[in-house]
Amino acid sequence: MTPEYGRAKFLGHLEAEIGRAKAKCPDARYVGIADEAQGNWEFLERHTDVQVTDFWHAAEYLGKAAVVLYRGHPRTKEAWLEEACHRLKHDVGGAGWVLKQLRRLARERPWAKGDEEVQRAITYFANQSGAGRMDYAGRVAVNEPIGSGVTEAACKVIIKQRLCGSGMKWTEDGAAVVLSLRTLSYTPERWDEFWSKP
């Protein structure tokens, strides 16, 4: 999401684009992918048919917890992490399996009981799977996305490549104009629509 000072304006533009997309493809199934930020879910629940916690974000939580749970045993850690990520992605109920593993390992390892990274991972998986946003096997089975990487890559192409070059400085208004034109140019129909306005 955008910084608070531009949030309302940004969301207005985003909702207008969502409206245009839904008008063009009214029968499409809309999937919303995000991290754990509550504001993301409230927005996505209004505009998408299904909401999914970004898989790679979940794997990152697992990785940080695994470092603590398997400290001093890098090979065992890697093997467990690989199995946990595989089950999370491919097994029905994979998030539940991961959550049980995290809780069990935290109980069994005295050094992990109160560890912040382990507790964060447990809370994260409990909250996200409890909200029904970690059915990765179900999403994969119907060829729906489970990660936001494509969108993040598009943001890098649209924004970072244009605004963050060596020595570049922008005013907020100048950057907004350039980005508006840049996004239009990457969408031929919208570009033509823009130029055909009276």
Q: 1 falls in which pLDDT band (50, 70, 90)?
A: very low
Q: Is 86 inside any structural domain?
A: yes
Instruction: Give me the domain span that covers residue 91.
Output: 54-141
- Tally of domains in the chain: 2
Q: What is the dihedral of CA 47, 48, 52, 54, to 10 degrees?
A: -60
What's the half-sphere exposure (Cβ side, CA atoms, 13 Å) at 198? 0
Q: Is 75 inside any structural domain?
A: yes
Same domain? For 62 and 126 the reply is yes
Q: Is 28 inside any structural domain?
A: no
pLDDT, residue 4, reads 60
Same domain? For 119 and 62 the reply is yes
Same domain? For 134 and 173 the reply is no
Same domain? For 113 and 154 the reply is no
Same domain? For 167 and 131 the reply is no
| Range 95-102 average pLDDT | 98
Same domain? For 172 and 126 the reply is no
Which of 141, 158, 178 lies at the terminal end of a domain, its last residue? Answer: 141
Which residues face 50 on adjacent strands? 31
Q: In angstroms, rounded to a whole number, what is the distance separating the alpha carbons of residues 21 and 11? A: 15
pLDDT digits 0-9 by tens, 44-64: 999 999 999 999 999 999 999
pTM over 0.85: no
pLDDT, residue 180, reads 81
Give the CA distances from residue 81 to residues 87, 109, 149, in Å, rounded to whole numbers and listed in that order.
10, 17, 20
Same domain? For 126 and 169 the reply is no
Dig out the tokens for 1 from the structure. Answer: 């999401």
More confident residue, 10 or 2: 10
Dig out the tokens for 115 from the structure. Answer: 């560890």
Is residue 146 within 8 Å of 136, Cβ to Cβ? yes
Q: Is 169 inside any structural domain?
A: yes
